[in-house]
A and B are shown apart, each in its own frame.
Chain A
């Protein structure tokens, strides 16, 4: 494989993203934040637990995973179209699948925990293992072992990777419009992800699998 993950992580983490004179971080065609994991976790888990108390655990999960889909579409998609991608990752790309290995390397500079591609069957299935997921470490610090998987953002993210690559085609640099989002994530061909192992449930690590349903 041509992708040098260590070099990508070093390059991205070394970009030194920091607010400008307006306190904003414009990058990858987005406004980035270096946000607090505790904020996401406390907000998301409070809502999830409130809905689970009403027997709406599947609805809670679907809502929070959908936010992850939106993240993947815009953030991963924006990165893979960016000048930074062209400078750091694109020169290493030899195959179509290298796009996925490249974006996973970039993700590993975002503070989300360590993502690793366990299995990639192009156009069919993606299995990602995550060590030190920020969602799970937050859950386990504040709550007992969970009945449910808790990596909502990551679940949406893993499905989003496959939708960007194999339902759409991010390599052609499409406009990331609302209509394109609907085409990729709401059509009958869309990939959906499930979290088959989760540290919050007591598993050793988190594992997510995206496939067409």
Chain B
């Protein structure tokens, strides 16, 4: 079992190192992304929002945020239900 784990880790490390030698976009140069250029140019003009990240989270991609709020609400409901009062002691 230990030997299998070490072989697996060696394979993963080797594969990741070979992959990092030839990434399509190196660090510090993501290339031209038209969507982000549009956001950076238009967020202040259209919405008068100084913080571009906030305008993306709550306006351009609000649908992701609504799903995330639903996930958070579901997790809180399950945590509250796990520790509800009146559970019998084991």
Tell me if chain B binds chain A: no
Which residue numbers of A lie inside 8 Å of B, CB to CB? none
Which residue numbers of B lie inside 8 Å of A, CB to CB? none
